[in-house]
Structure 1
Amino acid sequence: MARVVWHVPVTTSGTGSTTALRLFRLRDGRRCAVGFSSPEALVALLGPDQAHTELGEPALRALTAPLGIDALVVDPRLVAPSVTVPAATQPAAPLAPAPICPAPAVRLQRR
């Protein structure tokens, strides 16, 4: 029987010496781990710059269990509503410069 390998998103430290699983949240707020059946599916959702590693389900569950994470989502889809950009109506008028207020007089007290 062939071993099933998932492509799991990770984050890497600035020096590249540390790698950590990238965790997500379900709609109800619980944290979850995410796996993709192919690198193409991962890139389609998270973009080409997303680092990833290959893990089997037992390894992924073993890494997330100590964190209290028992939810695992395979090949998730974006569920956020699409963003619509309002059409520009008219260019904004330039702002008038703020009036210059003199600084209040400060009295120093001698001790």
Structure 2
Amino acid sequence: MAEIQCGEDPEPSERFPAGPLFVPVRPGPARYVTRVFRTPLGDRTAVAFTSVDRLIAALGPQQVWIRLAGPALRALTEPLGVTAVTVDPAFTAPSVRPSPPAPPVRPVLPALAVRVG
């Protein structure tokens, strides 16, 4: 029988899958912003996928995305009052209102600051 030593956490502390997640985004006033969805009960949740294929299967090929670690996604959404993160949702409902056409699927790359002079 295995023995648990004092101070050892029997539950995993990481709430996200290892590795980067593929997070759907939408155009915002400055750049892109993380999309927030609703659960079947109406609660707000951030959504992330463990692969581009899963993202495309759920949201379609036109969905723009970025790669983020789970803790970074939570850090972006918690100030908005969104504390839940749903990973690899199997079903999404269509948007209630039409969304603007999205550019072809591609990762969003951070802008590089160039200093002249």
Q: Above 0.5 in TM-score?
A: yes
| 2:87 maps to which of 59, 74, 84 | 74
Match among 1, 15, 34 for residue 47 of structure 2:
34
Supply the distance in 1 between the matched residues of 2:69 and 2:84 (Cα, whole angstroms).
Answer: 15
Structure 2 distance, partners of 1:43, 1:79, is 11
State the AA in 2 paired with 1:4: G
Between Structure 1 and Structure 2, whose CA radius of gyration is higher?
A: 1
1:73 partner SS: strand
Tell me the distance in 1 between the aligned counterparts of 2:51 and 2:41: 27
1:12 equivalent to 2:3? Answer no
Unaligned runs of 5+ in 1: 81-111
- Tell me how far apart the structure 2 counterparts of residues 76 and 20 of structure 1 sit (CA, whole Å): 19
**Deviation, structure 1 residue 7:** 0.1
Q: What is the TM-score with the length of structure 1 in the denominator? A: 0.63
Task: Give 1:1-111 correspondences, 5 Å limit.
Answer: 4-13=19-28, 18-78=31-91
TM-align CA RMSD: 1.7
Alpha-carbon deviations, 1:34-84, whole Å to 9, x = none? 00000010011111100000000110000011011111100001166xxxx
Instruction: Judge conservation of contact 2:22–2:68 (CA < 8 Å) in 1.
Output: yes
SS of the residue corresponding to residue 40 of structure 1 reads helix
Gaps of 5+ in 2: 1-17, 94-117
Q: Helix, strand or coil for the counterpart of 2:85?
A: strand
Change in 2 beyond 3 A, CA 1:13/1:38: same
Are the structure 2 counterparts of residues 55 and 79 from structure 1 closer, same or farther at C-alpha, using a change threshold of 3 Å? closer
Tell me the amino acid that sits aligned with residue 26 of structure 2. T
Give the secondary structure class of the aligned counterpart of 2:91. Answer: coil
